[in-house]
Amino acid sequence: DTEVTQTPKHLVMGMTNKKSLKCEQHMGHRAMYWYKQKAKKPPELMFVYSYEKLSINESVPSRFSPECPNSSLLNLHLHALQPEDSALYLCASSRDINNEQFFGPGTRLTVL
Amino acid sequence: AQSVTQPDIHITVSEGASLELRCNYSYGATPYLFWYVQSPGQGLQLLLKYFSGDTLVQGIKGFEAEFKRSQSSFNLRKPSVHWSDAAEYFCAVGLFNQAGTALIFGKGTTLSVSS
């Protein structure tokens, strides 16, 4: 298995909802990442997990809460989001923190 | 500060013609460089990478890139473009440290392929 999977593909939520994005990889990678990509823009790093521990938080608002329950799974919990948080959320993984990153297909999030 | 510049926002190439996408970086040390491709609404696919060694690197789908330290460039090339190559192309610098890796992306170049 050489891919990163993300669910759901699309998500529409209201500003008072709580939802979660899920990312999974079975390549034995020990680093996982969340990126946010607005339309017509490059991806921007949000969080880095290395060996299931949060190692980088790029000053992301607390309404985004990452979780890494095991080495294959990465979640992003969403609460009280704003319409400007609407974007494509990309997950990536790498063998360790100093190797190339492989991206999943993304979750298209719309906040109403 | 580290940065990546892709001077061309949009390029149109005829099918079968050659392609060169430009990338310039600003980084204090020897950079780790990447090219990714993104089709509409999709994730990013790694085309190739440069960490060290031979400055001409081969990637997937017939792409290659050349690292030129003197010009701070890492241009992507393909000898004959196919209609399926139409997509967004991102050049990126990898900033590695003990905490993790931040990929700094350029703003991207949109490639259109005409028949």
Q: Residues of chain A whose C-beta is under 8 A from some C-beta in B?
A: 4, 6, 31, 33, 41-43, 45, 48, 50, 55-56, 58, 88, 90, 92, 94, 97-106, 108
Spatial contact of B2 and B103, defined as CB atoms under 8 Å apart: no
**Could you tell me which residues are beta bridge partners of residue B38?**
B44, B88
Nearest-neighbour CA in chain A from B39: distance (Å): 10
For range B24-37, the mean pLDDT: 89
Which of B25, B91, B101 is most worth mutating to test chain A (most A CB atoms within 10 A of its CB)? B101
Tokens of residue A30, six digits: 């020990």
pLDDT score recorded for residue A10: 97
Nearest by CB to residue B43, choosing from A56, A100, A106, is: A106
The string of DSSP codes covering A9-58 is SEEEE-TT-EEEEEEEE-S---EEEEEEE-TTS--EEEEEEETTEEEEE-
Cross-strand partners of A21: A76
Read off the pLDDT of residues B14-28 as tens digits, 9 standing for 90 and up: 999 999 999 999 987
Minimum distance, in Å, between the CA of residue B79 and any CA atom of chain A: 25
Rounded to whole angstroms, the Cα distance separating A4 from A10 reads 16
Those residues with Cβ within 8 angstroms of residue B65's Cβ, 6 or more apart along the chain or in another chain: B33, B35, B47, B48, B50, B56, B57, B59, B74, B75, B76, B77
Q: For residue B100, list chain A residues with Cβ-Cβ distance below 8 A.
A: 31, 33, 48, 50, 55-56, 97
User: Which tens digits make up the pLDDT trace of A57-71?
Assistant: 888 999 999 999 999
Q: Please tell me the predicted confidence (pLDDT) of residue A1.
A: 56
Angle at B97 between CA B96 and CA B98, to 5 degrees: 140
pLDDT tens for each residue of B38-83:
998 888 999 999 998 899 999 999 999 999 999 999 999 999 999 9
Ranges of residues in chain A with a pLDDT under 50 are: none
B68/B1: higher pLDDT: B68
Q: How far apart are CA B96 and CA A40, in angstroms?
A: 26
- Residue A101 and residue B46: Cβ atoms within 8 Å? yes
Question: ∠ at Cα A17 (A42, A86), nearest 5°?
Answer: 20
Would an 8 Å CB–CB cutoff place B49 in contact with chain A?
yes
